[in-house]
Structure 1
Amino acid sequence: MHWFRTWKVMEITIQQLMVHLGSIRKDMIILEKSEFANLRAENEKMKIELEQLKQQLIHETTRIRANNKLDISLERSRVTDLFTDQKKKLMEVTTEFSKRDTHIKSVISETSNKIAIEIASLKTVMESNKLETIRYLAASVFTCLAIALGLYRLWK
């Protein structure tokens, strides 16, 4: 009988253990579900935060891209204006250079003409002086001859 009681006590103990194990299983399932629910909630929260960060990143990227496009457009416009101004200044300088070149060529031409006229005038004066000198020389020679002939007649 001792054996039977031991067996009954063991059976009761096993049943109590089984009840405790069932209770522990329920607790584990509840804990597991609770933990899983917490992880799922945290995961959802992280997904939402990640989506918000993604949207902020897209927004910032779009804003920066738009600003860069605007900056590039403004810089292109500034460079085009600068190029146009430089081209206009170059045209003005070229026109001024052409005017000065034409004026200088005109002055050189006038000076050349004046020099040519002066040279022609000097040649004319030289020729005139040369003829005048030859005339005086001829007159002097004839005068000397006339005096010499007059003296020769006087002494003869």
Structure 2
Amino acid sequence: MQKWWESTKAGLLTTSSKKNYDMRTVDITPLEQRKLTFDTHSLVQDLENHGFNKAQAETIVLSLIILSNVSLDTIYKEMVTQAQQEITVQQLMAHLDSIRKDMVILEKSEFANLRAENEKMKIELDQIKQQLLLETTRSRANNKLDINLERSRVTDLFTDQERKLMEATTEFNKRDTHIKNIISQTSNKIDIEIASLKTLMESNKLETIRYLAASVFTCLAIALGFYRFWK
């Protein structure tokens, strides 16, 4: 708006410097053709009735006429006729129309420049929008690819961990089975040893009983022999 006002102001100054109003002289009525606004003869008689002689009264009236003419000349110089006023108004209207046309031309030119700048800015904004859309699409595609790669890596890692867990579980089951077999074999050996010990203990028990019985019978036989011998 400031730029438009400066250009408008420059146009107005240029127009006002190029065009000048027509200066017309004012047609003032000559002194001999003017009509006085008072009766000079009655004024002279009135002055004579108040003690002035005829020469003094005529001199006073002449002075009043001169003052009236000077006042009228001053007023006439500052006034214009209706025809001159209409001509001046027409000149002013023509000048205002010229200024209005210049303002319309400047306004249209300024609006055309603004419209061109707006179109240029719109094109630039569309280009920026397309570039941002392209960058967004590219970034989204890259992010999607990274997410897929990360998902594949996590899936592979999970599969590897699951495989290792299965291998560890299988190894644990094998070792558990082996340990159970060892424990079972050891238990069987212990049972066999216990059974052998029980058998041995039973055998030793029978031998001991037999030995004790033989010893008892031997002692009884000896005692019986001593008894018979002493008897």
Query: What is the CA distance between 1:126 and its match in structure 2?
Result: 0.8
After TM superposition, the score normalised by the length of structure 2 is 0.62
Aligned ranges 1:42-61 → 2 under 5 Å: 42-61=117-136
Question: Of 76, 79, 83, which residue of structure 2 is paired with 1:8?
Answer: 83
Match of 1:112 in 2: 187
Q: Which position in structure 2 is the counterpart of 1:72?
A: 147
Q: Which moved more, 1:95-104 or 1:60-69?
A: 60-69
- Distance in structure 2 (CA, Å) of the matches to 1:38 and 1:2: 54
Counting only pairs closer than 5 Å after superposition, residues 1-150 of structure 1 correspond to structure 2 as: 6-150=81-225
Instruction: Give the number of equivalent residue pairs.
Output: 155
Gaps of at least 5 residues in structure 2 are 1-26, 30-79
For 1:15, give the aligned amino acid: Q
Identity of aligned pairs, percent? 81
* Superposition deviation, residue 17 in structure 1: 1.9
1:82-128 CA-to-partner distances (Å, cap 9, x unmatched) read 11011111101110110111011101101110111111111111111
TM-score, normalising length: structure 1? 0.89
Match for 1:110: what amino acid?
Answer: Q
Q: Residues 122-144 of structure 1, C-alpha deviation per residue, up to 9 Å, x if partnerless?
A: 11111111111111112112211
Give distance in 1, aligned partners of 2:155 and 2:123: 47
In the alignment, structure 1 segments of 5+ residues that lack a partner are: none
Q: Aligned partners of 1:36 and 1:152: how far apart in 2?
A: 163
Opposite residue 171 of structure 2, the aligned amino acid is: E
**In the aligned structure 1, how far is the partner of 2:165 from the partner of 2:147?**
26
Q: Which structure dedicates a bigger proportion of its chain to helix?
A: 1
Q: Secondary structure at the match of 2:160?
A: helix
Q: CA deviation at 1:2?
A: 6.7
Higher alpha-carbon deviation: 78-87 or 144-153: 144-153
Structure 1 runs, 4 residues or longer, greater than 4 Å off = none
- The residue type paired with residue 102 of structure 1 is T
